[in-house]
């Protein structure tokens, strides 16, 4: 796929989530995945390597959670190579994003990418989320591919403000997981999501304190 086609896929896909990408933002996002592909040759940061797949499965998948963010302070737990946190920070400069990652090579890439893109609204924390204590709680805590909902709550619940939200980015609707939540938490909503160009099921489970 040509660079122009990648840009078109990205801009049109973002529009499906109500995001109007500026030219500079689209360029930054495409630069992000280009740098990821370069680093991946040496450090094996992601199994997704085709440019078109990176646009859909990393960038657009990350942006799909944007409509349900709330507040000004957002944490991305287990950000890996920076998803969804880095794409969200690019398109949303008015919020502060804290990206938490325990694996050194991934945290180094995220720090490099944030500096390369001039993202002053990104803080990178190299730590295990379950043992890290934030200076103040977050309005939203987001995670992608962090296991079951109970695991997410156990790892990140303490980072969430009393009236904040945990947003779990999932595949198919996890009814069994939702039925087995620990005391003190409830499912606020389940948002069905369609990633343009992908047939796989996606949803975002929004959790709050009971």
pLDDT tens figures, 134-190: 999 999 999 997 889 999 999 999 999 999 999 999 999 999 999 989 899 999 999
Determine the Cα–Cα distance for residues 87 and 30; give it in Å rounded to an integer: 10
Q: Lowest-pLDDT range, 49-53, 88-92, 144-148, 157-161? A: 144-148
Average pLDDT over residues 66-88: 97
3 state DSSP class of 149? helix
pLDDT confidence tier of residue 1, bands split at 50, 70 and 90: confident
In the chain, what are the domains? 3-209 (3.40.50.150)
Determine the Cα–Cα distance for residues 146 and 150; give it in Å rounded to an integer: 10
Q: What are the E-state strand segments in the chain?
A: 73-77, 96-100, 122-125, 138-144, 160-170, 185-193, 202-209
Percent of the chain having pLDDT more than 70? Answer: 100
3 state DSSP class of 108? helix
Average pLDDT over residues 108-123: 98
The per-residue pLDDT for 12 is: 96
The per-residue pLDDT for 54 is: 96
The per-residue pLDDT for 165 is: 98
The per-residue pLDDT for 145 is: 78
Please write the tens of the pLDDT for every residue from 94-111: 999 999 999 999 999 999
The per-residue pLDDT for 132 is: 97
3 state DSSP class of 11? helix
């Amino acid at each position: 796929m040509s660079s122009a086609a990648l840009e078109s896929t990205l801009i049109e896909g973002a529009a499906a989530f109500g995001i109007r990408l500026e030219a500079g933002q689209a360029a930054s996002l495409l630069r992000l995945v280009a740098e990821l592909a370069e680093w991946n040759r040496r450090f094996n940061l992601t199994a997704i390597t085709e440019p078109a797949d990176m646009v859909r499965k990393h960038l657009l998948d990350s942006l799909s959670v944007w409509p349900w963010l709330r507040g000004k302070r957002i944490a991305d737990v287990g950000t890996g190579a920076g998803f969804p946190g880095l794409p969200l920070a690019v398109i949303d400069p008015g919020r502060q994003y804290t990206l938490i990652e325990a694996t050194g090579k991934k945290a180094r890439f995220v720090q490099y990418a944030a500096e390369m893109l001039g993202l002053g609204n990104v803080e990178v924390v190299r730590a295990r989320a379950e043992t890290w204590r934030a200076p103040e709680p977050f309005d939203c805590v987001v995670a992608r591919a962090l296991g079951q909902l109970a695991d997410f709550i156990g790892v990140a619940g303490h980072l969430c403000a009393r009236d904040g939200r945990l947003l779990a980015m999932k595949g198919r609707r996890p009814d069994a997981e939702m039925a087995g939540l620990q005391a003190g938490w409830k499912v606020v909503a389940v948002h069905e999501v369609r990633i343009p160009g992908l047939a796989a099921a996606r949803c975002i489970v929004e959790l709050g304190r009971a």
